[in-house]
Structure 1
Amino acid sequence: MKTKQICLLLFFSIILFSNRIVAQEWKGKWIGLASQDTSLINIWAGFRKDFHIDRLPKQAIAKIAVDSKYWLYVNDELVVFEGGLKRGPNPNDTYYDEVDISKSLKKGSNTIAVKVWYFGKHGFSHNSSGKLGLLFDLQSDNFELYSNKSWLVKRLVEYQSAPGKEPNFRLPESNILYDARVADMGWFSRKGDVTSFEPAVEEGIVGSAPWNNLVKRPIPLWKDFGLKTFHPQDVVRNGDTVICRLPYNMQFTPYFDMEANEGDSISIVTDNYLYYNGSAENIRAAYVAKDGRQQYESLGWINGHVLYFIVPEHVKINQLMYRETGYDTEFAGFFECSDPFFNKLWQKAARTLYITMRDTYMDCPDRERAQWTGDAVLEAQEAFYALTPSSHALARKWLYELIGWQKVDDVLFSPIPAGNWDKELPDQALASIGYYGIWMYYMHTGDKQAIVDLYPAIQKYISLWEKDKDGLVLLREGGWQWGDWGENKDMLLLYNLWYYLALKGSYLMADEMGYNGDMLQIGEEMKRFKQAFNQRFWNGKEYRDPSYSGKTDDRVHALAVLADIADKDRYDLILDVFSKQEHASPYMEKYVFEAMYKMRQPVLANARHKKRFAEMVNNPNFTTLFEGWGIGKDGYGGGTVNHAWSGGGLTIMSSEACGIKPLEPGYKTFSVTPHLGDLSYAKTKVPSIKGEIASSISRSADQMAVKFNVPKGTTALFELPFEKYKSILINGIPVDESIEKGKIAVGNSDRQWIIPEGKWEIKISI
């Protein structure tokens, strides 16, 4: 068993990530503190190296690895604000960064300094190595610099753990207390006093335990928006409390410039700590002042809509600021329509998505910061419509980590990476490896290598599912039979439908890779499965497990429609279920929304979504969406106010209302199939990897006009949303004439047209 585990880890480190650097290519050594108590948590250390350069290199790429985070200074300039990724790509290994520091180097004397924050504990998003360490390796044509015992190091004793309650066990970060009375403010400076330093201790070469193999960071370094000042009208001081309203819910680090007395205590918290904490202790910060004027930025990021400084009343505040940081992407996607509700939904969903992206996709940025894989399914799809393609790397990282953490018995679990959790959520795992997970990633990115790499491990997990004599899967125990938040979950049906969608994803992947044997086998299983499922669970008016005694599960019917288990002749009865049953949480409501659009019922779909999401979308106090239908006790799982699984409507409005979605991997062909329902107009921009796709649709009583562009190297399939029409003009020319002249071609029906690259306007008289 141990041999199998070693082989799996080697496979995932070398083959899947395809960027492990073997030990002989590195000259840097892991270095650490001379005396380190490995039982301590929240340790900060400062490393520095003074050196001389005769000739400046054109490029100077430093490879930097730490457990857990670092800040890089070159010649007193902060070059990297929070580098490093939480461990790890698999249960053993560590990520490393690449940073080009050539622009910060100078001829003559130079100083590099690295501030390292070692969490020292596991969490739902981090697998601690158990030891603080730094590895630095820079090899250019005419300059080399690498970490070894010639570097200096000191424990930064000013960084401590704040007194009081620690963050809950899901978070590896600690509450940071900074004691300015004992701080060495110039330790990283070229002119700093180095007498308090000691020589660093060499801990081993690349590949040494406990950090093991190194995997190149697969996502960009964080985007730093810079320090920004609060608007005066957003700051209110009331006694010992200063209340600062942020422009929106964000990941940020707080900064202050104050005049205080030695020993004055300052607390730093947000509204997400005080009020909307998901029923768990989250992260805060504290500061002990020296005498006089002082500036400080707390480096552990927090989030919220409101920042609070609790300070003695005699403290003079000169300036309060914040630094937003986050995943390096842009809000390139766009949606707008005639209904303000859906505009606000899309905007809040995009904001919630962004705040749940950092080292991994997260369920929430406060209570857990954990990559629950079911959440990532929805978040990745939202990102395809809202963000630039740089966001795709985070989805790829999620999928590779999911497989990289596969257990030796082939079980998949989440959240990952994690050092203190390994329980399987069967339905979330199936969603991730199936049609809505890896296949949807492939359709939007065209990243065939990912499906080639991950397909074998996916099949191992699927093979774990036990079946009855009819080929339907049995209820899998897993680590947590979750299903969804809320009540009335028909679990056996939910598991079977997610399993079928996993088969569908595998079938499509096998077809894409030319695995004909697998494709035929899976296809036959799907045929038998559909027949057996309908025969056993359809009772003439709804889907139901005969042994299930709860109310009819709307989630089940949504998945049955989306999986094509339910044929169209059952749609009217299923619509009746949707009109009477509302049990899905915001997480599963996306699939209900999507199913109703697939059933060509956009008016009913929009009405249900508006009804269910009204409280959170219309709430003027929050720029993000909630975990459950309400806040706190009225929500699920503690009820956070920033859960991107609630933003599935963003995907649906762009992909279904405006009808833009890939039909071939990487948008080689995409659909333009608008279904406005009761909307009079809608427009969207989709930042596809082939280029921006912009579409606008307007409708009156007797006409619909659709304008859209088809990027270079792509083809659009336009589908008429009406059964009947009077006439159609394409770029001002009747459709039949356009076909005759070869400007467009007929698709699979007389209501579909294949549109080449260019700008198009289609006017339909109805």
Structure 2
Amino acid sequence: MSPSGFWSAGVNSQAEETHGLFRKTFHLDRVPARVPARLTADSRYALFVNGQEVARGPIRGQPRRLHYDFVDLAPYLQPGVNAVAIYVKYYGTPTSFWMPAVPNNTLGTSGILVFEADLSATGWLISDASWKAQKADAWSIIGREGTSHGGGVPVEVFDARRLPHDWQAVDFDDCGWNAAQVVQAMHVGGFARSQPPTDPYGPLYPRPIAQLDGMVRTPESIQVEVLAGHQERLAGGPIACVQAIVDVPISTSMTAASLPISVDVPHDGMVRLSFDMGHVVSGLVAFEIQAPAGTVLDFSYTEDPLRTSVSMDKMSAGTRYIARGQHDRFEVFDSNGFRYAYLLIYSTWGPLTLTHFAVREQLYPWQAGASFECSDEILNRIFVAGKRTVQLCSHDAFIDCPTREQRAWVGDPVVHQMVHLATNSDWRLARRYLALANSPRSDGLLPMVVVSDIEARGSYTIPDWSLHWIHGLYNLFRFSGDQEVVASLLPTAERILRWYLPYQTSSGVLKDISEWNLVDWSSVSTEDTSAVLSALWARGLREFAEMAGWLDDRGRQRWAERVYARIADGFKLFWDAERDSYVDHIVNGEQRPEMSQLAGALAIVSGLAPQDHWLRIVETITDRARLVVRSWMGTGTGEQSMEKWQQQVREGRYQIDWDVEREIVLAEPFMSYVVHDAVAQVGRADLLPKLYQRWSQFLADGYDTIGECWDFGTHTHGWSCTPTRDMIFYTLGVTPAEPGYARARIAPRLGQLSWAKGRVPTPHGLITVVANAHSVTVDSPVPVVVELDGQMPRTLAAGRYELSVH
């Protein structure tokens, strides 16, 4: 690719957030049929051609695995003069979705741009010194206000008076701008290269996933409130200011049906507008206002209605905009997720008009075709809510939530991945999850979050998150059958599994595993010798052995089988014969009574539990009379949760507040995927439609998404969407019988449902299944193994069949 542009007069001595504007004008006698262009930036760019947005990028990735985007500029060009304009934001310090490169003498401490376009007969347009560049000072930094847990989405503070509104236009006068500076790699062995590949970025990789897109969402209701006085309370960033006046008396109030809205800001007063989007949205906030120059607009974005006290996980994103007095239309650069937006207007008084407020969603697209529907309308709502939730958590990576963090955790996405495999014909993001997270530490474990402030710190990790990544690799093996990808990632999986070996006792199970063994937000006891961690490791070894065998890698297969056999011998130590399941752990050589759903479920899915125990275990762990919701994080208010959290972090105290001799701790929504896997594996998938019903608790107060935990957390968490996966895999019963869907397994288990139907994506096309109490209709592009309840399995060629249930 071409040379890199750089807007600073010199290299920053310390990394800081900076904003660069680039422009290039050129003449075309005619527009070619295609104008292929490639570009990337450190950190993020927005590309405009003749004032029209064309693309944003690049996707998140480790600095040495930087990606570029490929776009066709032809639809945006015109005969005559054209202008390419690019805004580049360099974050400087790590965020929840970006981490800086390790700098050399020139590259890695400030923003760069790399661009090239083939203009056909006109020649090549490249990012060289002929471009005009300007370091913009319209943005300012207010610290880390609102960024949860030290990271989170940056708060954008923008003074429109300091940036011309038309800098992207063809006829904008940029004669006062500087020439872009070409940056050379200045280090031993760098040869002063000014084009990729260079350190610290290495070779650039093509974008492997689709461009983000989505609907433009407008508010369902708007509340307008005039507040008198109290500007003396305002200090700090936009979130703090909006929070500071929660309880200020309201002079007048009205509900607006739609925009535009005209109001008068009283002398020394303020106006607050409250937008309810009707449901959680995620994307770029855009607004337009007619107001005097210097008017301050402070936005705060929340999942819940604003109250006097808002915990940090509910209020962590915002924007400040200072009006230029004309042409005040703005779109926030970084994506925000919220249901409610609060706008506080102050610093000037008199009439003003808000003419536009909307969110342009930036989500990973779903290919049309896949579907599910059944006789239970509540389950239909849960299915749709799970799909919507996972899409809201599908950006350029699988993220935990669009509202609080937007981090790419390594364990959470295994559920996102399976929902994609079940409902979206585009599996590229499901593959990307594995490649992005393949960033092991020197000891072989993966960071708990990749491409973020957490990976940049190199701090402790969640070891079991790496085991979920192995399960994600196993999913890819089963569903795609891509031998090359699986073979390339198998060494990482082996290093993860070998990391656990020093913790294996003479009895074969795991003891005293270091770092943060989260497992689930439910109160699972992992201290000392852990059944849950031993079983998760065993599942990983078992899946690793199967993949190695499939690749004819017998050495790796035999090694994993030997280690697994040692665990199987010792796992019986956790069996509680009186309660028909496994306890969570052993402390000082004595079996402790704490028992969770997960100990029994993982014993089944890992194959450690003898098959004659399976049905007894499932009956035990699904007995509603014995199940209790408990979390080490706590329930109730955010303050109570944080107090319990601090007890664990600082004091190592885990408070048991349930009857450990009789009660069993229910898995939270995330690890419920393992519980449901176990129920299906023992042949009781017919029980699952009843278990799905619990997820209906999230569909209240207008929310149409699935929340993080049973009693707390965000309203939109992709790791909680197990029922959406299960309605395809277990209720409709469509899964691969052979890797890559060379053959499909069709085993519908309706339970109390009268009927279910759906279309399921495979690499070969959609499989259609319609099932009721009397018959099952299958239309498949691949051979199928049909397993109807009470009947022997039958193998059928590709085609359409109607089969009797009786």
- TM-score tier (shorter): 0.7 to 0.9
Matched, 1:168 2:148: yes
| Cα pair distance change 1:758/1:216, threshold 3 Å | same
Matched, 1:367 2:404: yes
- Name the SS of the counterpart of 2:760 in structure 1: strand
Shift, 1:476, TM fit: 5.6
- Name the SS of the counterpart of 1:627 in structure 2: coil
Aligned to 1:135: 114
Give, in whole Å, the separation in 1 of the partners of 2:586 and 2:57.
54
Shift, 1:176, TM fit: 1.1
Aligned to 2:702: 621
Matched, 1:268 2:268: no
| Cα pair distance change 1:524/1:672, threshold 3 Å | same
Residue 517 of structure 2 contacts residue 526 of structure 2 at CA under 8 Å; is this kept in 1? no
Matched, 1:688 2:727: no
The AA in structure 2 aligned to 1:242 is L
Residue 314 of structure 2 contacts residue 714 of structure 2 at CA under 8 Å; is this kept in 1? no
- Tell me whether 317-326 or 162-171 shows the greater mean CA deviation: 162-171
Aligned to 1:645: 719
Please list the CA deviations of residues 168-211 of structure 1 after superposition, one character each: whole Å capped at 9, or x if unmatched: 35536421122122221122211001133111111122233444
Aligned to 1:9: none
- Name the SS of the counterpart of 1:621 in structure 2: coil
Aligned to 2:605: 562
Aligned to 2:778: 708
Matched, 1:463 2:498: yes
The AA in structure 2 aligned to 1:489 is S
| Cα pair distance change 1:461/1:116, threshold 3 Å | same
The AA in structure 2 aligned to 1:191 is D
The AA in structure 2 aligned to 1:100 is D
TM-score (norm: length of structure 2): 0.80
Q: Percent identity?
A: 22
Matched, 1:287 2:332: no
- Name the SS of the counterpart of 2:351 in structure 1: coil
Matched, 1:250 2:289: no
- Tell me whether 556-565 or 372-381 shows the greater mean CA deviation: 556-565
Give, in whole Å, the separation in 1 of the partners of 2:12 and 2:751.
64
The AA in structure 2 aligned to 1:483 is V
Residue 507 of structure 1 contacts residue 522 of structure 1 at CA under 8 Å; is this kept in 2? yes
- Tell me whether 516-525 or 45-54 shows the greater mean CA deviation: 516-525
Give, in whole Å, the separation in 1 of the partners of 2:727 and 2:756.
9
Shift, 1:680, TM fit: 1.3
Give, in whole Å, the separation in 2 of the partners of 1:166 and 1:720.
53
Aligned to 2:59: 85
Shift, 1:341, TM fit: 2.5
Give, in whole Å, the separation in 2 of the partners of 1:357 and 1:708.
31
Please list the CA deviations of residues 528-570 of structure 1 after superposition, one character each: whole Å capped at 9, or x if unmatched: 4323323664646322344353521210111111222223311
Matched, 1:379 2:416: yes
| Cα pair distance change 1:764/1:164, threshold 3 Å | closer
Shift, 1:705, TM fit: 1.3
| Cα pair distance change 1:653/1:348, threshold 3 Å | same
Shift, 1:598, TM fit: 2.5
Give, in whole Å, the separation in 2 of the partners of 1:200 and 1:590.
52
Please list the CA deviations of residues 212-260 of structure 1 after superposition, one character each: whole Å capped at 9, or x if unmatched: 43222221221253x4554xx6333233232333253221222223221
Give, in whole Å, the separation in 1 of the partners of 2:509 and 2:132.
60
Residue 731 of structure 2 contacts residue 749 of structure 2 at CA under 8 Å; is this kept in 1? yes
Please list the CA deviations of residues 707-736 of structure 1 after superposition, one character each: whole Å capped at 9, or x if unmatched: 22112xx1111012126xxxxxxxxxxxxx
Give, in whole Å, the separation in 1 of the partners of 2:80 and 2:691.
68
Aligned to 2:676: 593
Matched, 1:114 2:86: yes
Give, in whole Å, the separation in 2 of the partners of 1:426 and 1:610.
31
Matched, 1:306 2:340: yes
Give, in whole Å, the separation in 1 of the partners of 2:294 and 2:312.
33
Shift, 1:588, TM fit: 1.1
Residue 279 of structure 2 contacts residue 702 of structure 2 at CA under 8 Å; is this kept in 1? no
- How many pairs are equivalent? 687
- Name the SS of the counterpart of 1:314 in structure 2: strand
Aligned to 1:747: none
The AA in structure 1 aligned to 2:704 is T
Aligned to 1:235: 222
TM-score (norm: length of structure 1): 0.84
Give, in whole Å, the separation in 2 of the partners of 1:472 and 1:424.
23
- List alignment gaps of at least 5 residues for structure 1: 1-25, 724-750
Matched, 1:66 2:41: yes
Give, in whole Å, the separation in 2 of the partners of 1:406 and 1:527.
26
Give, in whole Å, the separation in 2 of the partners of 1:65 and 1:172.
23
Give, in whole Å, the separation in 2 of the partners of 1:422 and 1:215.
28
Residue pairs, 1:746-761, within 5 angstroms: 751-761=792-802
Shift, 1:141, TM fit: 5.3
Residue pairs, 1:63-462, within 5 angstroms: 63-80=38-55, 82-88=56-62, 92-129=64-101, 130-139=109-118, 142=121, 143-161=123-141, 165-168=145-148, 170-171=150-151, 173-204=153-184, 205=194, 206-225=196-215, 227=216, 229-230=218-219, 234-239=221-226, 240-272=271-303, 274=306, 279=313, 282-292=316-326, 294-312=328-346, 314-330=351-367, 332-389=369-426, 392-403=427-438, 405-418=439-452, 419-433=456-470, 436-462=471-497
Give, in whole Å, the separation in 2 of the partners of 1:546 and 1:471.
12
Give, in whole Å, the separation in 2 of the partners of 1:246 and 1:238.
18
Give, in whole Å, the separation in 2 of the partners of 1:38 and 1:690.
54
| Cα pair distance change 1:203/1:474, threshold 3 Å | same
Shift, 1:421, TM fit: 4.6
Aligned to 2:622: 578
Give, in whole Å, the separation in 2 of the partners of 1:662 and 1:572.
24
| Cα pair distance change 1:469/1:593, threshold 3 Å | closer
